[in-house]
Chains A and B, each alone.
Chain A
Amino acid sequence: EAEVAQSPRYKITEKSQAVAFWCDPISGHATLYWYRQILGQGPELLVQFQDESVVDDSQLPKDRFSAERLKGVDSTLKIQPAELGDSAMYLCASSPAPYGYEQYFGPGTRLTVT
């Protein structure tokens, strides 16, 4: 069964350092999402790609976060510099449809900023 792949699974970093997360969506899925999930809460969308184009990044803290999906396949989310409040689970999801029905999530990257 095809799955969304994410790496690393866990990341510990000191504040002010740079971190990067990688996501490989299910093959053929044109829509890719990055969500942030704070412990005890539901995921919140950070950025959404349709192929290689960003269609929604309204909740992305652009002063420190960046995301790219250069060839419309895998994607990288970067934080520079990391802050203590960035500690969370970063989830990647993909969908076969442009309108995002049936989103499939990866296992996530647990980020701890010390």
Chain B
Amino acid sequence: QQQVKQSPQSLIVQKGGISIINCAYENTAFDYFPWYQQFPGKGPALLIAIRPDVSEKKEGRFTISFNKSAKQFSLHIMDSQPGDSATYFCAATAGGTSYGKLTFGQGTILTVHP
């Protein structure tokens, strides 16, 4: 019940295109859903996050869409750039009941071709 399932495993997009990564969860106690971006040899960097009381959050070219009834959330990267090429992880936490322990998806390797 603690799993977060992420897809696709890898994604290739042309510059200027839209990248979409999906995640699904089972634990209804999860109340915070961050996305992390990780470049090779670096630690994950917090990109954007959402709580289940809203259905969408946008920050620049990055948008999270959240569907509470389906227990799914997704990351949309608009106008994808070669510099966006990285591994993206969705995550979830139950916050107060777990002191913020993050459960991560398996990751999506995004390649943006120029």
Contact = CB atoms under 8 A, between A and B. Distances in A.
Interface of A: 4, 6, 31, 33, 35, 40-45, 48, 50, 55-56, 91, 93, 95, 97-108, 110
Contacts, number: 77
Interface of B: 6, 32, 34, 36, 41-46, 49, 89, 91, 93, 95-96, 98-102, 104-107
B42 A107 contact: yes
A103 B102 CA distance: 9
A104 B100 contact: no
Given A106-B43, A107-B42, A95 B100 contact: yes
- Those 9 A-B pairs whose CB atoms lie nearest each other, nearest first: A100-B100, A42-B104, A105-B43, A99-B95, A55-B99, A99-B100, A108-B43, A105-B44, A107-B43
A106 B61 CA distance: 25
